[in-house]
Amino acid sequence: MAARQFRRHLLLGAAGLLAGVVVVPHASGADAGAKVTAIEVGILPYLPTATLIGGHEALRHHLEDTFKRPVAVSTAPDFRSFQRRVLDGEFDFTIIGPGPGRQAQLDRDHQVVAMSKQLVRVFILVRKDSRINAMTELRGQTLATIDPLTVTAQMTAAMLRDHGLTPGIDVSIRYDKVPFNTVQSLVLGEVAAASFPNVSYAKLPAEIRDKVRVLRQSEDIPGMLFMVRPAADMPTPEEFQATLFRFAETDAGRTYLQAFGHEGLIKPDPAALRALDRFVPETRRLLAAP
């Protein structure tokens, strides 16, 4: 517990520096001397850190104003270290991808309090001038995707197998850090194809989008999950859920949801969440690997 509290203080300060703000507790009068536990918010590292931290400032302020305690927003250098932080209980409120989020729900009893209205699908992209017109024509080529821990990579592998292609054997797989890097590699001619999640597609510069086309797209699955780690020193999941949906009704909240492509928020759908169970075994296996 002491180590976790020490990490909490370090992360609080680091998040404040990254966001360009000083994070201080809301306290006055008799409450000023009371010890207030900061809320740690973790965001999946699917965009540049500055974009993630800066883009979540409105949500951070809303949580601070509602719960009258400091809020620190942080992420991690990569998907694996982020997921390990989630499973280690370092975040109180987490915005996470569907596969890793489902693992946190099943393995650590984190609760889903909201889901992005925007469903996730994966595009297999090729250059507009490419002669590749079918998935089977990727045989012997290289495809760029992101960390194998993500549903983007796992759905990509499933689409390849559906067309009789074994990832890593029939098609070489290159793993890039973030989605933008995969399509950048494609445009530069370093790879023949790239997998790319629809939730990030709108953020691609127009000059990049104009140079690629969709070869294939996956089925839809639930999008980003908003999750809470239940703890005695934190607001309840129900309180987090209520304040999150109130935020979605504000001008700042609507701007935030549009900027990150959520389209809105919906209540957790148990059937949709169970459909994510197929990703959990591979997520566990990858995290257990050295």
- Per-residue pLDDT tens for 86-111? 999 999 999 999 999 999 999 999 99
Under 8 Å between Cβ of 229 and 211: no
Between these two residues, 34 and 3, which has the higher pLDDT value? 34
pLDDT band per the 50, 70, 90 thresholds, residue 162 = very high
pLDDT of residue 6 exceeding 50, the answer is no
What is the pLDDT confidence band of residue 7, given thresholds at 50, 70 and 90? very low
Say which residue the tokens 């850190």 belong to: 49
Structure tokens at 239: 């309180």
Phi and psi for 170 in degrees, rounded to 5? -75, -30
Contact 218, 155 (CB under 8 A): yes
pTM (two decimals): 0.84
Q: For residue 242, what pLDDT is reported?
A: 98
- Give the confidence band of 34 by pLDDT, cuts at 50, 70, 90: low
Report the CATH number of the 122-217 domain: 3.40.190.10
Q: Where in the chain is the domain with CATH 3.40.190.10?
A: 2-119+222-288, 122-217
Q: How many helices (H) and strands (E) does the chain have?
A: 13, 11
Which of the residue ranges 18-22, 34-38, 159-163, 190-194 would you say has the lowest mean pLDDT? 18-22
In this prediction, residue 24 has a pLDDT band, given cuts at 50, 70 and 90, of very low
pLDDT single digits (tens) 117-153? 999 999 999 999 999 999 999 999 999 999 999 999 9
- State the residue for tokens 């990569």: 78
Which positions ≥6 away from 189 have C-beta within 8 Å?
127
Encoded tokens for 69: 């305690």
Q: How confident is the model at residue 163 (pLDDT cuts 50, 70, 90)?
A: very high
Per-residue CA distances from 7 to 10, 18, 64, 109, 213 (Å): 5, 16, 20, 22, 44
Say if residue 217's pLDDT is above 60: yes
| 63: confidence class by pLDDT, cuts 50, 70, 90 | very high
In angstroms, the CA 206 to CA 97 distance is 25
What is the structure's pLDDT at 258? 93
Task: Give the Cα separation of 114 and 244 in Å (integer).
Answer: 8
Look over the chain and give the mean of its residue pLDDT values, rounded to a whole number.
89
**Beta strand spans in the chain (E):** 39-43, 71-74, 93-96, 111-116, 122-127, 142-145, 172-175, 193-197, 212-217, 225-228, 265-266
Is residue 29 over pLDDT 70?
Answer: no
Residue 199 confidence (pLDDT): 85
Counting residues of the chain whose pLDDT is more than 90, the rounded percentage is: 82
Q: What is the pLDDT of residue 15?
A: 41
Q: Which two tokens stand for residue 116?
A: 């992005």
3-state DSSP assignment of residue 111 = strand
Residue 30: is its pLDDT beyond 50? no
Spacing of C-alpha 199 from chain mean position: 10
Q: Show Cβ contacts of residue 66 under 8 Å, excluding neighbours closer than 6 positions.
A: 243, 246
**CATH superfamily to which 2-119+222-288 belongs:** Periplasmic binding protein-like II (3.40.190.10)
pLDDT average, residue stretch 170-193: 96
**2: pLDDT strictly greater than 90:** no
Instruction: Kindly tell me the sign of the dihedral angle through the C-alpha atoms of 78, 83, 88, 91.
Output: positive
